């Protein structure tokens, strides 16, 4: 972390960048938040730790409109989002100085809480273990156990776009990305319906999943229209809820980089990646493997076609 | 008030037809006096690719039991390539509906040219039959639209 702060102050001091986009300490030990830093003084609250899961690419949309360059710290997975935003002409590469930061997996406070740890006062890390001081005594939990779902199926630790790299990464991938999707696909229609009814009825339509998503950056969003009911929380057993989720995922299909932010921020713990990954899996199977954000040039699968594409009836045929 | 006897199920079908081929195909079916069920309500769209996935979901939500999209045959799109995009989009949408547990068969895409009045009528007859066998759409409807 000290290395990041040092480099940031250097670049600020010599005028190469006008501001720094990073993470600053929050009010709790586990909630650092995205922030701008404009001088050495402000950089004192800069942090980079296991809880810095927040993907800063989306903030570069606004930063691209500001005077001067912005130094932005991106984790390997965040660089996919940046590439995708470049492809969509939403961010300006010239306005960004990208420092790729190393990543050893990011933590999920919900995973810690699920293991029964409450009243957290401080969290520190020692050889792959999290030491947690709480109001009720000391606890420890393994780093891997407390990791975000997305880090267990990490895309890899290679930064796809950067100006310089700082820090080491470690392999965290230990599960198959589409395992959850395959599991649901094997269910009967009744089971599938019941499963999604159970998950989606928890949704409070806070829109956090949309707001955090780099792909969901349209200036005008269909869900903000007051002309239809999706603007509010719907009855839990009506279709409105599912409609929101299908359309949200559909609008990012072929553009979603699987950055995992939506699932991370959902206050209800809804596994939103199961929707995104269903589209990814179908796209891979039907139109050839594709990974959004791998580069900033390749055409997306939904803005492209071939004459031989499968007919929609294929859904019924493959059962 | 008494409980009304269960009436016969009359499916509501929404058919999105593109202006250039399928709508003309439907017209031809009509002028050739080929019959298709009156339960099919046609919505004319400039191109099949005008159909936003939300249109399909909205139709279901407002009480449709089946939704069918008809457009020009691939290669014959009035705007050259519109229907190729439709094909990809609808494939993904239908697959997603299947994934969340909606019965297969409530959605369909069929390519119908302006000369295919017969195909239009048989497709619609078949589709209505299918929806009949699936019964009422209970999974996608909005409670507020039920009476
Ligand atoms: S997905 Fe990979 S790169 Fe992204 S935070 Fe997790 S471990 Fe790091
Ligand atoms: S973040 Fe979660 S609760 Fe909020 S709208 Fe999205 S799915 Fe619903
Ligand atoms: S849908 Fe979720 S995983 Fe995909 S880009 Fe948006 S926030 Fe990331």
Encode pLDDT of A114-165 as tens digits: 999 989 999 998 888 999 999 999 999 999 999 999 999 999 999 999 999 9
Per DSSP, A46 falls in state B
Q: Please give the pLDDT value at position A277.
A: 97
Nearest Cα residue to atom 1 of ligand 3: A256
Query: Taking a contact as any Cβ pair under 8 Å apart, which residues of chain B between 30 and 69 contact chain A?
Result: 53-54, 57-58, 60-61
Q: Is the shortest distance between the CB of A257 and ligand 3 below 6 Å?
A: yes
**B115 in reach of chain A (CB within 8 A):** no
Please say if the pLDDT value at position B144 is more than 60. Answer: no
Q: Is the shortest distance between the CB of A266 and ligand 3 below 6 Å?
A: no
Phi, psi for residue A71 in degrees, rounded to 5: -85, 125
Using the atom order of ligand 2, give the atom closest to the CA of residue A265.
Answer: 1
In the structure encoding, which two tokens stand for residue B34, read together?
A: 């080929």
Q: Please give the pLDDT value at position A191.
A: 94
Calculate how far, in angstroms, residue A139's C-alpha sits from the geometric centre of ligand 3.
33
- Top-level class of domain B13-136: alpha beta
Q: Please give the pLDDT value at position A21.
A: 97
Instruction: Provide the CA A196 distance to its chain's centre, in angstroms.
Output: 21
What ipTM was assigned to the predicted interfaces of this complex? 0.91
Calculate how far, in angstroms, residue A82's C-alpha sits from the geometric centre of ligand 2.
23
Instruction: Provide the CA B53 distance to its chain's centre, in angstroms.
Output: 13
Q: How many Å apart are CA A297 and CA A7, to the nearest integer?
A: 30
Please say if the pLDDT value at position B147 is more than 50. Answer: no
Contact state of A302 with B87 under an 8 Å Cβ cutoff: no
Phi, psi for residue B39 in degrees, rounded to 5: -75, -10
* Residues in chain A where the model's pLDDT stays below 70: 228-238, 319
User: What are B28-77's pLDDT values in tens digits?
Assistant: 999 999 988 888 999 999 999 999 999 999 899 888 999 999 999 999 99
E-strand spans in B88-133? 107-111
Contact state of A312 with B101 under an 8 Å Cβ cutoff: no
Q: Please give the pLDDT value at position A228.
A: 63
User: What are B6-33's pLDDT values in tens digits?
Assistant: 678 889 999 999 999 999 999 999 999 9
Q: Please give the pLDDT value at position A12.
A: 96
Residue ranges per structural domain of chain A = 1-108+148-173, 115-146, 176-319
Contact state of B92 with A235 under an 8 Å Cβ cutoff: no
Give the C-alpha distances (Å, rounded to integers) separating A240 from A95, A96, A126, B20: 40, 40, 46, 33
E-strand spans in chain A? 19-24, 33-37, 70-74, 96-101, 120-126, 129-134, 137-142, 164-166
Q: Note the ligand closest to the C-alpha atom of A261.
A: 3
Calculate how far, in angstroms, residue B92's C-alpha sits from the geometric centre of ligand 3.
18
């Amino acid at each position: 972390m000290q290395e990041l702060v040092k480099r940031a102050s250097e670049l600020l001091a010599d005028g190469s960048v006008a501001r720094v986009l990073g993470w600053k300490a929050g009010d709790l030990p586990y909630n650092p938040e995205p922030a701008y830093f404009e001088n050495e003084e402000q950089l004192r609250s800069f942090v980079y730790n296991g809880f810095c899961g927040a993907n800063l690419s989306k903030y570069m949309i606004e930063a691209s409109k500001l005077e001067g360059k912005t130094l932005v710290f991106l984790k390997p997975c965040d660089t996919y989002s940046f590439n995708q935003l470049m492809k969509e002409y939403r961010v300006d590469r010239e306005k960004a100085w990208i420092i790729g930061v190393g990543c050893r997996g990011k933590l999920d406070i919900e995973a810690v809480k699920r293991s029964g740890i409450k009243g957290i006062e401080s969290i520190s890390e020692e050889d792959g273990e999290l030491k947690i001081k709480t109001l009720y005594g000391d606890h420890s939990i393994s780093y891997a156990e407390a990791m975000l779902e997305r880090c267990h199926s990490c895309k890899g630790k290679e930064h796809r776009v950067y100006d310089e790299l700082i820090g080491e990464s470690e392999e965290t991938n230990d599960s198959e990305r589409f395992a959850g999707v395959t599991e649901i696909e094997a269910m009967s229609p009744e089971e599938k319906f019941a499963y999604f009814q159970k998950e989606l009825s928890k949704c409070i339509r806070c829109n956090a999943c949309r707001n955090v998503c780099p792909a969901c950056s349209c200036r005008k969003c269909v869900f903000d229209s007051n002309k239809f009911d999706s603007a509010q929380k719907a009855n839990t057993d009506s279709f409105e809820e599912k409609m929101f989720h299908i359309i949200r995922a559909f609008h990012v299909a072929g553009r979603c980089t699987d950055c995992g932010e939506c699932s991370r921020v959902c206050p209800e713990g809804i596994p939103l990646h199961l929707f995104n990954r269903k589209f990814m899996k179908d796209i891979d199977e039907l139109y050839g493997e594709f990974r959004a954000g791998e580069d900033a040039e390749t055409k997306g699968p939904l803005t492209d076609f071939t004459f031989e594409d499968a007919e929609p009836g294929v859904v019924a045929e493959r059962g | 008030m008494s409980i009304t006897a269960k009436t016969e199920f009359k499916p509501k079908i929404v058919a999105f037809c593109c202006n250039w081929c399928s709508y003309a195909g439907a017209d031809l079916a009509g002028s050739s006096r080929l019959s298709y069920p009156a339960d099919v309500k046609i919505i004319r769209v400039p191109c099949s690719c005008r159909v936003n996935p939300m249109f399909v979901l909205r139709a279901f939500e407002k009480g449709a039991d089946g939704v069918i999209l008809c457009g020009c045959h691939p290669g014959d799109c009035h705007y050259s390539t519109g229907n190729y995009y439709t094909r990809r989009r609808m494939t993904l949408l239908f697959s997603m509906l299947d994934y969340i547990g909606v019965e297969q068969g409530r959605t369909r895409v069929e390519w119908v040219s302006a000369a295919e009045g017969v195909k239009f009528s048989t497709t619609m007859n078949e589709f209505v039959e299918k929806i009949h066998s699936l019964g009422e759409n209970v999974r996608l409807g909005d409670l507020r639209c039920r009476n």
